[in-house]
A and B are shown apart, each in its own frame.
Chain A
Amino acid sequence: VSDVESARGRSLCDGRIEIDSPQRIRFRAEELFFLCGSGESTAWGDIPLEQARFHMGAFLQQRGFHFFSSSIDFDRKVLRVNTGPRVVVSGLQITNDTKVPLRRLRRPLGKAMTPDRLDQTQSWIRRELAMNGFPCAQVRVRGELETGLIHLDIQSNRYRRILKVIQSDPVGLEPGILSRYYAFQEGESYRSIPVELSSRRVESDGIVQDHRWNLRCEDPDHIILEENLLVGKPRVLSLALGIDTEEYLSGMIGWKSVRLGKRASSLDFQGRASFLRQMGLIVSNWYPFSDPRRPLIRTALQVERRAESRYASLDSELSIRSVWSRDFLGYSLRFEVGPSLADSRALGSPLPPPSQYLSLDAGLRWMSHPFEFYLSNPQEGYRFDVRGKFLDGRLLSPFRAGVIEVAAQSLFEPFHSDPRILIVGFRAQYITSSSSFSKAERSKLPIRFRQYLGGEQSVRGFSRLELPFDERVMMSSVHGGIELRSDYPFHPRVQPFVFFDAGLLGEESFQIETPVYFSPGGGLRWQSPIGSIRGTLAHGFVAGEKDREKKEKLSHWQWFLSLGREF
């Protein structure tokens, strides 16, 4: 709501109200109505000064001025108001019968103590309690003006388990189809993150347009989750845009049909394009079983063209996978396995020859619920991925090869406060390939079996895929990084961070060799209204490299700017 009149010249209502305040106060139009009156009717055309004084108390309270004083000059018909000092929040006094170690809430400190602030603090604490198994807790919040303390009296209303889920099934689907997205089980202790995460998954997959929960607290020891849906139309057309300094501008177009058949299978067409990559993808997710614990069959056809600085390639792949996913208390496991038929062609020189091969792919992802939940604003949780691709020269492949990748990522906040004082993030990835090609024949190895380093997602002091410096074919790589990000130090949405990345490459399978590539650096993350924008600046260093010229060429500053990329 835009402010339409402020305390201009420290007077309001044509001089009927005079305000003395250390700060300029802007009143909204609806507030001015009740201070000055409006309209031609005798009812609201004027407001008695005593009534204006009464309302003024409420309006000033909304701005943190609790100790206002006033006087009415009945001769001149003027209300004089002195707002007094603004009361700011100095701390929180929590009476908590839940024994839950709540995080320290730092955000309201130093801010004006207003009714809205109390509401926000109350919402925050309810959310904290819901995250810890007390979704029906009642919180009484009061503000102490002498000390600036916010008093929070918590009545836990007992620790709750999920008694049952009252499902709401979209028309035409088998009952309970949506339970495949649930990150919780009936009978489990209630935690808000898995429950909200379930809604996110449903919506992200697009099976329904809108999904959320009603929490019912009528049972003293349990909670009942009632599903609420807005089903929406079954077809989704989407256009998307992403920006970063690696791929510059990237666009995406998609068409998805959900709720195919009684078990809500889906068919998804996607096209993505940037200066570096162009890709077309058709994915079909077929659910042959009603039981959500049974696998789905995913068939995908992907054609991708890449024009990296190091190489250009055109890869096509048709894959069929059986996908199992299961949620446990606090984490989810997902396992995929299946064959894929690939065609890999290099474009330009130096060229590995075109090759077609059949491979067996497998992957396992172990991801904590908080990691998935905070995906758009990473702050806690972990994930662990293992995947492999195996080719046998005797089965529709001209050569034998394999690649194994292990990746891990973890974030945590050591000070247990909100906003987080410090978010510590680790990530590491190890990839190794093997093939039947000898070292001299390795130029024939398709590019996807070769290892590179450099870029925003690996060692940030080097440009994208800059490493190795020469044209050697690397079979192994490992890289890791640590990032320290401070939340809310000087602006609620701008977070500075520092990081240190390091990586190594190896020419042989399961072997890592010097030199060590490392890069210290720093950056800023801005939580913009359209997503997080990250800028990093790092310097690449090489340790253990004897070639001085090579070393000097690799040691340089490198910057990245991206929308939505996270550590």
Chain B
Amino acid sequence: MIKRLLFLLVFVPVFFLIFLGILIWYYPSIAVNPTTLGWGKQYLEGQGISIEWEAPRIDARSVNFWEKSLHLSLDRLHIESEDLSLRSQKILLESRFLFSFLKFNKLNVDRLHAEDLQIEWREGPSEENRGLSGDDSPKKPVDLGFVDTLSWLKLNELQIDLTSLRWIDNGSRSSITGDLHRKDEIWKTAGSFQLEEQNEGFSGQWDVLWDGISQEFKVEVLTGGVLQSLQASGSIQQAEESLTLTKSLSLQIESFPSINFKNLISEWRWESPIIVSLEGDWQIPSLSDAKRRQEIPLFGKLSADVFYQPEKDSNLAAKLLVEFFPKQKAPPVRGELQVDLQTDLQDLISGASGSLGLAMEIPDFQEISDYGKAFGFFVPAPFHHLNGPIHLNVNSNIPESGAPFDLNYEMTTDLKSRDQSVVTRVTGGLQVLRGSQGLQAHRLEADVELKKVLLIWPDLGLRPPPPLFKDARFADRIEAPKVSDSSEDSEMSYRIHVRTPQEPLQIKTHFSNTPLRFLIDAEVDSSGGMQGWVRLEPALLQLFRRQAQLTGGRLSLSDDFGDSPIESSLEVEYAEYKVFIRVRGTVSSPLLILESNPALNRRDILAVLLFGRPLGDLDPGQGESLASTESALIDRSITLGSMFLLASTPVESVSYNPETRAFQARLRMPGGVSLTIGSDTERLTQVGFSKPLGKGFRFRTLLSDLMDQDKQMHISAVLEWLLRY
């Protein structure tokens, strides 16, 4: 009896449950129907999740013994929880559950449509839970295991019209709108996204096609107003714990040449650490802009291993080898870049450490200068016909803990043309700071060795060079002067040391048969300071219409270039005497000392130098010119340039207006043409009693004398010629 009773107590419920299970197995609508849907809703509301819908239609059927179908349709679905808000105008799900031996095997979603889907995801701890602990806990690394867990899902058709997906995190706000479609194994998604973080952020669009064999996607990101885009296509092979992507990749960043990767094989291994290996060819297809039809490709190979180790501080490491080499129609640049870096994903720049090295060679400077034209770079005269190789080596060890690092470089040039040469070696370092703003060049050190430099000075004859650079005093719009914070020192500092260790710098000029030879040991720095010297070696010059021996010159640099002391000596030999011209003083205010052997007075020496005749043989106009020259010399109104011009050509007349300190010289030129040089500017006011007119003439204003017998007191003027003796 008891056994029977126990049997009934056990068997009946079990039988009932089995019966019910069989019934549900064959008729799933018994368990999955609007009523049970309502129970589920009530259960979730008990868990703090509010769900509302209208016109629920649910149809659960048994297709065959191992296959069940579920059709669900909900209008105006609204789910609300503490951290999620989801709304959709209509949800349609057609799915099939596949079983094998009563074990769930796969879910086939034949169709999943979501219309006007709006999701708002409020991530992060709530205000109450946030407490005082802040957000110091280390963030969990990204879990990529979902790739495996999704293997039970088969999605045949997916159509989601995402009207808005907003993801609100502490301090940041993200939103996504777009479509997601999948049909016949082809994924398509397109949409736009926006991330706002404090006052920064970026926005973008994507367009992805994924058909299982080849994948194409395009992402365009607008960050800081600059458009950047990434396009890729390829195939993915998934193994147990690795993913191999074979694809081509195109990266386009505004204001930067686009980069294409071809035959790029990237292998992703989900080990610890996760390793991504890249190997392929890269190409910068064109360095030109759209306006130029010239295209300059740049080719190379890329080999890189990237290690990702979530649990470590330096959780990202990379070894990179980039080779670049010339191909046909490519600029002749060859070399390689080696990078070996470890860094923390959370702090890519400050957390980085390792080493990098660049070795580059431009075998043909002439060719690279031709290519350079395509993107606005040009080699100016007189250097544009130089040819030869340029080598550049850069290496750096990047220390840990975010300390600054130095990029040490060495550049050598061996450039030559028919009549010029530039053989130099530049060594130094560029100190780079790392901070929240990224990398910042902080200080440049350069030691420039002019090993063998021979240049040609432009032959302008007697004319002073015109202004070759635009005057910086003009602007489209001039703002009111701002009060600048002098303590702010964000500009890069530099120190450049130039010297001639082997041969002097040589400059060919038209007033000397042999090049002028300069020895240099000079240093300039970013504070404007200058030190060192420039020495001019003795030379024979064609000045004062005869050969003049330059016995030497020296410029000692000081912080203000105009205050740099200058010393130079010139000897001009005449039949009866020798004239010594010494330049002393400073660059901005040179002082000319004239001496002779046997001794002549200053005016005699000037007369001989300027007019080639002794003082007694000069006509009155030349005497006046002489006086003007002497005045200007005393007043130091003659610049070094004017002094040179005076010395290099026959002088017709010289006038000097002490009122405006304007110096003018009229020079005789071939063909009877006269050339006027000088510092005279338009006078705004005519003043004074007399105005020099040159050649001994002046215009003189007379006020009638107080006790003049003429009863009509008046102002009158005369044209006057005068001679002092």
Q: Name the segment of B16-24, B342-350, B554-562, B710-718 touching the other chain.
A: B710-718
Q: In the complex where A50-B378, A530-B693 touch, is A431 in contact with B711 (Cβ < 8 A)?
A: yes
Partner of B463, one of A29, A57, A363: A29
Instruction: Tell me if A315 counts as interface (CB < 8 A to partner B).
Output: yes
Least CB distance from A125 to B in Å reads 10
**Contact A377–B686 (Cβ < 8 Å):** yes
Report yes or no: A51 in contact with B686, Cβ–Cβ below 8 A: no
Alpha-carbon distance between A95 and B722 when the two chains are bound, in angstroms: 46
The answer to whether B473 touches A55, judged by C-beta atoms less than 8 angstroms apart, is no
Question: Mask for B463-483, Cβ within 8 A of A = 1, else 0?
Answer: 111111111011111100100
Could you tell me the distance between the alpha carbons of A451 and B382 in the complex, rounded to whole angstroms?
79
* Cβ–Cβ contact A203 & B690, under 8 A: yes
Docked CA distance A38–B256 (Å): 37
A199 at the interface (CB under 8 A from B): yes
- Provide the bound-state CA to CA distance between A317 and B716, in Å: 23
Query: In the complex, A51→B469 CA distance in Å?
Result: 11
Binds A, one of B61-69, B140-148, B258-266, B674-682: B674-682
Residue from the list A212, A244, A250 in contact with B659, Cβ < 8 A: A212
- Decide if the interface of chain A is mainly helix, strand, loop or mixed: mixed
Interface residues of B in 629-660 (CB under 8 A from A): 630-631, 634-635, 656, 658-659
Mark out the residues of chain A between 26 and 43 whose CB falls within 8 Å of any chain B CB in the assembled complex: 28-31, 33-34, 37-39, 41-43
Judged by a CB distance under 8 angstroms, whether A157 is at the interface is no
A153 CA to B701 CA, complexed, in Å: 37
Instruction: Pick the residue among A242, A373, A387 that contacts B707 (CB under 8 A).
Output: A387
The answer to whether A28 and B467 touch (CB under 8 A), given A43-B456, A376-B687, A532-B717, is no
Interface stretch, picked from A140-148, A349-357, A505-513, is A140-148
A204 to B420, CA, bound (A): 56
Q: Please name all residues of chain B whose beta carbon is closer than 8 Å to the beta carbon of A375 when the two chains form the complex.
A: 688-689, 701, 703, 715
Indicate whether B188 reaches chain A with its CB closer than 8 angstroms: no
B688 touches A361 (CB 8 A): no
Of B292, B458, B459, B721, which one neighbours A74 at CB under 8 angstroms?
B292
Write out the residue numbers on chain A whose beta carbons fall within 8 Å of the beta carbon of B469: 58
Q: Which among A180-188, A231-239, A437-445, A535-543 touches the partner chain?
A: A231-239
Answer yes or no: B723 CB below 8 A from chain A CBs.
yes
Q: In the complex, how many angstroms separate the beta carbon of A363 from the nearest chain B beta carbon?
A: 5
If the complex has contacts A34-B468, A237-B723, are A564 and B419 also in contact, measured as CB distance less than 8 A?
no
Question: How long is the Cα–Cα vector from A456 to B417 in the complex, in angstroms?
Answer: 74
A200 touches B475 (CB 8 A): no
B703: A residues at CB distance < 8 A:
372, 375
Q: When the two chains form their complex, are residues A43 and B707 in contact, meaning their CB atoms are under 8 A apart?
A: no
Q: Are A235 and B724 in contact (CB under 8 A)?
A: yes
How far does the alpha carbon of A31 sit from the alpha carbon of B458 in the complex, in Å? 12
B711 and A30 within 8 A (CB) = no
1/0 per residue A491-521: CB within 8 Å of B?
Answer: 0000000000000000000000000000000
| A107 within 8 A of partner (CB) | yes
Contact A48/B673 with A28-B463, A61-B471 known, Cβ cut-off 8 Å: no
A250 to B600 Cα, complex, angstroms? 41
Residues of A within 8 Å of B675, CB to CB, are 1-2
- Per-position 1/0 for A69-101, Cβ under 8 A of B: 001001000000000000000000001000000
Q: How far, in Å, is A276 (CB) from chain B's closest CB?
A: 11
Which residue of B384, B681, B684, B722 is within 8 Å of A418 (Cβ)?
B684
Which residues of A lie under 8 Å from residue B403 when comparing CB positions?
none
B-side interface mostly:
loop
> Is the pair A210, B627 in contact by a Cβ cutoff of 8 Å?
yes
Contacts of B631 in A (CB 8 A): 209-210, 230
Whether, in the assembled complex, A336 has its beta carbon less than 8 Å from a beta carbon of chain B, the answer is yes
Collect the chain B residues with CB atoms within 8 Å of residue A127's CB: 684-685
> Is the CB–CB distance between A565 and B725 below 8 Å?
no
Q: Are A34 and B691 in contact (CB under 8 A)?
A: no
Q: Are A457 and B712 in contact (CB under 8 A)?
A: yes
Smallest Cβ-Cβ distance to B456: which chain A residue: A43
Known: A48-B380, A62-B467, A405-B711. A33 touches B719 (CB 8 A): no
Selected from B460, B682, B685, B709, the residue in CB contact (under 8 A) with A304 is B709
Chain A min CB distance to B716 (Å): 5
Quote the shortest CB–CB distance from A517 to chain B (angstroms).
15
| Known contacts A46-B381, A124-B684, A204-B690: A242-B718 contact under CB 8 Å | yes
Instruction: Give the residue among B384, B418, B473, B634 with the most A Cβ atoms within 10 A.
Output: B473
Q: Which residues on A sit within 8 Å (CB–CB) of B635? A: 212, 228
In-complex Cβ contact of B687 among A28, A43, A377 (8 A): A377
Interface residues on B, range: 35 or more
B159-188 vs A, CB cutoff 8 Å, 1 = contact: the mask equals 000000000000000000000000000000
Count residues of chain A with CB under 8 A from any CB of chain B: 118
The answer to whether B701 and A564 touch across the interface, beta carbons within 8 angstroms, is: yes
Give the one of B460, B675, B676, B719 with max A CB within 10 A. Answer: B719
The complex places the Cα of A39 from the Cα of B691 at a distance, in Å, of 42
User: Which of B463, B473, B684, B687 has a CB less than 8 Å from the CB of A1?
Assistant: B463
In chain B, positions 478-536 with a C-beta closer than 8 Å to chain A are 478, 481
A144 touches B706 (CB 8 A): no
User: Chain B residues with Cβ under 8 A from A50's Cβ?
Assistant: 373, 376, 378
A385 CB-CB contact with B under 8 Å: yes
Complex Cα spacing A78 to B281, Å: 38
A55 contacts which chain B residues (CB < 8 A)? 468
Tell me if A395 is interfacial: C-beta within 8 Å of chain B: no
The smallest beta-carbon distance between B380 and chain A, in angstroms, is 5
Q: Is A120 part of the contact surface with B, judged by Cβ < 8 Å?
A: yes
Residues of chain A in range 197-231 having any CB-CB distance to chain B below 8 Å: 199-200, 203-204, 209-212, 228-230
Report if A321 contacts B (CB, 8 A): yes
Are A230 and B689 closer than 8 Å at their CB atoms?
Answer: no
Question: Does B455 sit at the interface, judged by CB under 8 A?
Answer: yes
CB distance from A339 to the nearest CB of B (A): 12
CB-based contact A30/B673 at 8 Å: no
Interface pair A210/B658, CB less than 8 Å apart: yes
Does B442 belong to the interface (CB within 8 Å)?
no
Measured CA separation A405–B456 after assembly (Å): 74
Distance to closest chain A CB from B444 (angstroms): 24
CB contacts (< 8 Å) of A238 on chain B: these are 720-723
Contact (Cβ within 8 A) B474 A113: yes
Residues on A with C-beta less than 8 A from B376 are 50
- Most B CB contacts (10 A, CB to CB) among A1, A123, A365, A431 go to A1
Interface string of A9-40 (1 = CB under 8 A from B): 00000000000000000001111011001110
1/0 per residue, CB under 8 A from B, across A251-289: the answer is 010000000000000000000000000000000000000
Choice from B473, B673, B706 contacting A336 with Cβ under 8 Å: B706
Contact call A144/B713, Cβ cutoff below 8 A: no
- Once A39-B459, A212-B635, A377-B687 are accepted as A-B contacts, the answer to whether A28 and B466 lie under 8 Å apart by CB is yes
Contact A43 B466, beta carbon cutoff 8 Å = no
CB-based nearest A residue for B707: A363
Q: Does B90 contact A (CB under 8 A)?
A: no
Give min CB distance, B502 to chain A, whole Å: 22
Where the two chains meet, the residues of A that have a C-beta atom closer than 8 Å to any C-beta of B are 1-2, 28-31, 33-34, 37-39, 41-44, 46-48, 50-51, 54-55, 57-59, 61-62, 66, 71, 74, 95, 107, 113, 115-116, 118-120, 123-124, 127, 141-146, 149, 151, 153, 196, 199-200, 203-204, 209-212, 228-230, 232-242, 244, 250, 252, 302, 304, 315, 317, 319, 321, 334, 336, 361, 363, 365, 372-378, 385, 387, 405, 407, 418, 429, 431, 448, 451-452, 455-458, 527, 529-532, 562-566
Q: Can you list 25 pairs linking A and B with CB atoms under 8 Å apart?
A: A28-B463, A30-B465, A34-B466, A58-B467, A61-B474, A62-B466, A71-B291, A115-B467, A115-B473, A127-B685, A142-B473, A144-B475, A146-B477, A199-B659, A209-B724, A210-B627, A235-B725, A242-B717, A336-B706, A377-B687, A418-B685, A448-B711, A455-B712, A458-B712, A562-B716
Besides A30-B466, A42-B419, A376-B691, 14 more A-B contacts (Cβ < 8 Å) are A43-B456, A51-B381, A58-B470, A115-B473, A142-B475, A143-B474, A144-B477, A242-B716, A250-B718, A319-B707, A375-B715, A457-B713, A563-B717, A564-B716
